[in-house]
A and B are shown apart, each in its own frame.
Chain A
Amino acid sequence: MQRQLANMKQSLFDQGYLDEQFIQLEELQDDANPNFVEEVVTLYYRDSARLIQNLEQALEKNPLDFGKLDSYMHQFKGSSSSIGAKRVKIECTQFREYCRTGNAEGCKKTFQQLKKEYATLKKKLEVYFQVARQAGPVEKACRPK
């Protein structure tokens, strides 16, 4: 179980879904905060769902309000980087770049991409946490190579 967990995590890192920040989160988890990581991630998904919705709505307007889009995305990026959602963060950066250049098509396309990454990560993390709960207290993960 533990090993399975470790493998899962390793693969998440290898595939670039997660980065260093996630490790930081795990390090913060201790007896006082036994489920810290999961709590934070859950919080993230809840809060970012709101942002995603805002973005959706904003992207349907015509013409696009790049300033507002950029502002939402800035927030989204901040949260995502806080939990170590690497791929999501990359998409955010790309999106903001398109906003900066006023590329509406680019924005929309990137956003779709972003949503995909976001959903994928969510699923993977759900599984991860499930296994983690079964495996017992989460051991401090050894850093991915």
Chain B
Amino acid sequence: MTVEKIRGGNENSDNFPVGLRVLAVDDDPICLKLLETLLRKCQYHVTTTSQARMALKMIRENKDRFDLVISDVHMPDMDGFKLLELVGLEMDLPVIMLSANSDPKLVMKGVTHGACDYLVKPVRIEELRNIWQHVIRRKKFDSRNQNRSAEQAKSYQASGEGHGSATTGNADQNGKFNRKRKDEEDESEDNGNESEDPATQKKPRVVWSIELHRKFVAAVNQLGIEKAVPKRILDLMNVEGLTRENKYRLYLKRISSVATQQANMVAALGVKDSPFMHIAPFEGLGDFRTLAGPGRLANAGLSPYATGGMLGRLNTPANVNLRNLTPSALLQPTHAQNITALGEMHPVLPPTNQNPSLFQGMPSSLELDQLQQNKCATGIVNFNAIDDSRMYTASNAFTDTGAAIGSSTSTVNGIPGNPLMLHENSQQTLSGGGGFGSHSSHNMTSFSLESLTAGVYGSSNLLDPGSAESCKMQPNAVLSTDPFHGQLPLNGVRENNFSNGSYLHNNPVDISSTTMALPFEDSREMQCQENSYIPANGTVSPLSRSLDQDSEIFNQKTGMFINSRVTGGASNLMQKNENEKLATESRARSSDNFLLEQPKSRGGFIPRNYDSLDAMMNAMIKREQDETIPNCDFGLDDYSFGAAM
């Protein structure tokens, strides 16, 4: 949108901001009248209403009717923040909050809900003279985002092959578009895009993407991937709370039955996750997502998840990812737990942590089903404490759960030396889920160390925890069965490595059997942003990835890994489709990269955030020991994990 648009393309083209079309909402008639007069004095076109519902109706009737909305916080028929959210989500209009209360908490709330500005009553005309800047700024961002997203999408596509379709829509704004288009994939990509440029667009986008994403995911989930129509999605989004629960369950259901739908699941998961994630108010779920995201931020490199501060975004992706993993695999029952676990994480983790949350959630999910539940939660919690930026903690959490299962768990936690863990993991994986768990946890820590790979593995191990036991290496067998676990067994070894994603991976049952490769991509996309997660079919992958990514992200260094891993992972994933072996190979490579340094981005997939992928890859590579390539992919596949499911 350009400036001209603002003017509505009529008079005032040369006289901006004259003629700015403002909608003022305030239940206090005095304030409203005052506001109206002040705005008229600034030569804006003013429309007033004292009812929030009426305001919404007016805006919805004609999206292009207003340039800006000013709304009071305290209103009888609808909370000002709710109106803010709705307007922001649906219409992408800048909204300014107004209140007699200047409490910083409220101001903060305004910011988190996406307000462009917050004015305190009584309002002075000088303050109103400048509000047009918000309109221009948003328009600029939008176009820039869109351009950027498009480009990014392209690059993504090139690298990630299938990621998700060009998310072109800049994460935030475009996200909306993309979403409509692609739902899941777009989101992932968008997120990815956003992550690339979080710095610039962080602020506006974050809010947007998170919410949008959340809602979007939720909506999509509700509608079912196939039927996700933007409109419906929007509608659904409005009913977020409702959908959440539903989604979750649906999600879980989906996951379990996924076998064939893995791919879908992944997609859905990604999407769903977001919703799920979202559901949990930003904090809970969002955290997850954000975890993915925030962790990234810290890492900067990692970004797939967090990419840039897009915490919000990450959250979604992360969340989504997590969800995927967890739900698919075991999560069903645990899922709830995971979420809680995740939720726990959140509080602990600040934005950076957010990623961990993801992991936590993930592990939780994975574990939950089996064993992990307890572990995961705890593991996750640990994570939180540990990292701000460490997603790893999250992963650790996972690993913990896994640990419970396997013996390695101990290793996991301490994993700084993840690489070692990985090895262990491999063993562990064999040992069954437990091993995984441990590894996973290790992975987590390792991530921080950079050994993400190790952690990754560990995580992968964890993932399996449930499955690990069964699988030990039964990657295939497991994979299919336990979305999570399935993966582990095979990948168990490998998966653990991913620990981040591993948890996620677990589900992905590795991809080997499942379309891991696919999921991976999906997961990637889902992961959004960074996670090159490759929308694992099983969705697990994505989760894993997210985890990985997250963990990776934390470590900046690891981020590198992740990147490389991711790429590796990504590549793996990709390969996965074909053969898991390939995946493993790539993984091995990725792991190498991963572990060692950083992300070389092997696959070049996801250069950005693949980190998680890398981690996964690394894990996978490590896992290679198991050779169940599927597992390896697992890491990557985590994404695909969903598919595996």
Contact = CB atoms under 8 A, between A and B. Distances in A.
A and B: bona fide binding partners = yes
Interface of A: 21, 24-25, 27-28, 33, 36, 39-40, 43-44, 47, 71, 74-75, 77-79, 81-84
Contact of B34 (A71, A74, A75, A82): A82
A96 B38 CA distance: 28
A27 B74 CA distance: 27
A106 to B, nearest CB: 20
Contacts of A75: 27-28, 74
B225 to A, nearest CB: 44
A21 B122 contact: yes
B33 A40 contact: yes
B37 A78 contact: no
A82 B29 contact: no
Given A28-B38, A74-B74, A78-B100, A83 B30 contact: yes
A78 B29 CA distance: 11
Contacts of B231: none
Main secondary structure of the interface of A (DSSP, over half): helix
A78 B73 CA distance: 11
A132 B522 CA distance: 73
Nearest to A36: B37
Contact of B124 (A24, A43, A79): A24
Given A21-B122, A82-B121, A33 B30 contact: no
Residue of A25, A39, A81 most packed against chain B (CB within 10 A): A81
B101 interface: yes
A78 B80 CA distance: 15
Interface string B114-129: 0000000110110000
Interface of B: 27-31, 33-34, 37-38, 41, 74, 99-101, 121-122, 124-125
A37 to B, nearest CB: 10
A139 to B, nearest CB: 18
Given A24-B122, A24-B124, A24-B125, A78 B34 contact: no
Contacts of B125: 24, 27-28
Contacts of A74: 74, 100-101
30 contacts: A21-B122, A25-B34, A28-B34, A28-B37, A28-B41, A28-B125, A39-B33, A43-B29, A43-B30, A43-B33, A44-B30, A47-B28, A47-B30, A71-B74, A74-B74, A74-B100, A75-B27, A75-B74, A78-B28, A78-B99, A79-B28, A79-B30, A79-B31, A81-B100, A81-B121, A81-B122, A82-B31, A82-B34, A82-B122, A83-B34
Given A21-B122, A77-B100, A81-B122, A40 B30 contact: yes
A46 to B, nearest CB: 9
B71 to A, nearest CB: 14
Residue of A47, A77, A78 most packed against chain B (CB within 10 A): A78
